[in-house]
Amino acid sequence: MTAKILVVDDVSSNVKLLEARLKAEYYTVIVAHDGEEAMDLVAKQQPDIILLDIMMPKMNGFEVCKKLKNDPLTTHIPIIMVTALHDTHDKVQGINAGADDFLTKPIDETALSARIKSLTRLKMVIDELRLRGETNAEIGGVSGMDYSNQIFDANILVIDEDVFQAEQIYNVLKQRFRSIKILNDPIEALKVGIEGNYNLIISDMQFSKTDGLRLCSEFRSKVETRYTPILILSEDYDRSNLVKALDVGANDYLTVPLDESELIARVNLQVKRKRYQDALRMNLFNNAEMSVKDPLTNCYNRRYFDAHLKNIVKDSVEKDRRLSLMILDIDYFKKVNDDFGHSAGDELLKQIQKRISENIRVTDLLARFGGEEFVVVMPDTNVLDAFAVAERIREIIAIEPFTLLDKSITHSVTVSIGIAEMQKSDLDNIKKFIIRADRYLYKAKNSGRNRVVTS
């Protein structure tokens, strides 16, 4: 997961330290030493994230943040404001200026890594939403950005045995959000969280009945809460468990005792992220223009795929990012139609689409390519990572039999998959990109089926 990060600070030693830390995690780093230079660089290079110091000459961080957030061309870029330790006034002013997140000096490495990773994921979702909005506009569809920018009616679940702390969180959030539910029992909270369709789950790390890490892992493993942001509460000194929590699926953390302005900022960020993801799914499954959807499987059709792939390729080239594409074909699909009828074949296609969609990212593009073929476009993904995703999908389809025609038929199914990564030579003719993946698909077919083949 790569990102281009703009570091803005007038102190050279601060810039060098942040630059070294970020480059060590393989991010691309550009730097500015004052507000005016930062504005110029943002316009020219469109970074994915901005790390913005507050105290600078010519134009302070608040002014820069406000201008960027008021500009339609840059409002979508996440901004992390760097503040002095425990300076609540700066944080409140930063929220009012539009800041998405905060880091306090001296900057902790765990905090820096967690914030950057969380915002990078958010930016990927925003970029894909904007890109699909452009494609929808080209072919007469609609965008989900309006929905994604509304967060006041968010549904938030707080899980905490500390009654005083839970009440503090409730009192802060009730001023900004419509529905806040507090639960003290983590076992009950797991059931409620899965059934409740929450926009955010806030959970403590310590419980008497269960391990907070286990609870986080359980939420992340369920289909219903796989994309629900999880914000954990952690003691300052509990670094080892904090890193583990981020590894098992937590999106971000807050240290206790809680800072109210930081709580608001982190909750705003995670709820926005969930709304952006929801908006992408609304585009995928509920697009107003039926002409872009396959009526049987409810995923995008070939017409939309052809139009959107051009935008994805253009975006990947501009950002110098990898791009992979997989084509999946159902093995012996004709035999299903011949043995059980076309109704069974239609039901199988719908169930295959469901299994694929549950095992790819919200930013990936899934479309019905034609007949019994599906295609998945994976931005910011190299061929090795794409192979791992494809192998997971192949295995999930092969292991669990499909029940067709009102549970009267149980049928084992496999798929063959071909994968290609975009090359420079594909830029002149995108069809070559598709043809290469198609060639690997037929190689998988000819070498025994139920396998993944790539270069």
Closest by Cα among 115, 192, 102 to 155: 192
Q: Which amino acid is at 418?
A: G
Instruction: Give the residue carrying structure tokens 């999106």.
Output: 251
Round to whole Å and give the CA distance between 12 and 10. 6
Tokens of 185: 């029992």
- Residue 329 contacts residue 415 (beta carbons within 8 Å): yes
Tokens of 160: 């905490």
Closest by Cα among 156, 172, 81, 90 to 119: 81
Q: What is the DSSP string of 281-320?
A: HHHHH--S-GGGB-TTT-SB-HHHHHHHHHHHHHHHHHTT
- Residue 389 contacts residue 396 (beta carbons within 8 Å): no
Which residues pair with residue 156 across a beta bridge? 180, 200
Pairing of strands 4-8, 49-53: parallel
The torsion region of residue 5 among left (phi > 0), alpha (psi -120 to 50) and beta comes to beta
Rg of the chain, C-alpha, whole Å: 23
Coil vs helix vs strand at 170: helix
Which residues pair with residue 419 across a beta bridge? 326
Handedness of CA 419, 319, 266, 258 (dihedral sign): positive
Q: Which amino acid is at 80?
A: I
Other Cβ atoms within 10 Å of 45 Cβ, number = 11
In the set 19, 128, 372, 421, the catalytic residue is 372
Q: Is 372 a catalytic residue?
A: yes
- Residue 52 contacts residue 8 (beta carbons within 8 Å): yes
End-to-end alpha carbon distance in the chain? 22
Non-local (6+) Cβ contacts of 222 within 8 A are 194
- Residue 217 contacts residue 248 (beta carbons within 8 Å): yes
Running DSSP on this structure, what letter comes out for residue 139? T
Closest by Cα among 387, 386, 379 to 319: 379
Tokens of 88: 């609540």
Q: Which residues are catalytic?
A: 372
